[in-house]
Amino acid sequence: MSSSHAVLGAIRHDWTLPEVEALFALPLIDLLLQAQRVHRSHHEPNTVQMSTLLSIKTGACPEDCAYCPQSVRYETGVQRDALLEIGTVRECAERAKAAGATRFAWAPRTARRRIASFRPSPRWCARSARSGSRAARRSAC
């Protein structure tokens, strides 16, 4: 197997065990070099995407992730904040745009996981997408 076939070829989903083992066996610096070549073949080499993340609800998460200070099950000192108003999200998106962000992430992690007790209503999400991130002309996630 050629190492360039394993890494630099087209996107694949048919990796064989020997091919994967060969990648794991590469010295770290060689693997980094291959990763850089792949990256440069798909992206501008010296640019990064400027993103801004906004927590629209903080604390009182119903999940029990022992490592996370936002879980409702642990006393961690994290201040619990209610879901932000749409206007506040829009202001934050505008500030992110002014600061050079090309991506504005605002959904709480738990909303993406569809936890009902934490999920903003579909109406709230639709209104905020129209009035917040789109108004700021940024990619919203």
Is 121 found in the same domain as 88? yes
Is 55 found in the same domain as 28? no
* Six token digits for residue 45: 């080499």
Query: Which residue would you say has higher pLDDT here, 41 or 61?
Result: 41
Q: Which domain holds residue 12?
A: 3-42
Mean pLDDT of 15-40: 91
**pLDDT tier for residue 12 given thresholds of 50, 70 and 90:** confident
Overall number of domains in the chain: 2
Angle 85-91-97 from CA coordinates, rounded to 5° = 140
Is 26 found in the same domain as 74? no
Radius of gyration of the chain (CA): 21
Is 35 found in the same domain as 70? no
Which residues, in sequence order, are CB contacts of 19 under 8 Å at separation 6+?
1, 6
Is 59 found in the same domain as 119? yes
Looking at the predicted structure, is the pLDDT value of residue 124 above 50?
no
Mean pLDDT for all residues in the chain: 71
Query: Which residue would you say has higher pLDDT here, 43 or 6?
Result: 43
**Plot region of 85 (φ>0 → left; ψ -120 to 50 → alpha; else → beta):** beta
DSSP 135: T
> How far is it, in rounded angstroms, from Cα 91 to Cα 72?
28
Looking at the predicted structure, is the pLDDT value of residue 93 above 50?
yes
Looking at the predicted structure, is the pLDDT value of residue 60 above 70?
no
Q: Which of 33-42, 103-112, 127-136 has the highest mean pLDDT?
A: 33-42
Is 107 found in the same domain as 59? yes
Is 55 found in the same domain as 37? no
Is 73 found in the same domain as 33? no
Is 34 found in the same domain as 79? no
Is 109 found in the same domain as 60? yes
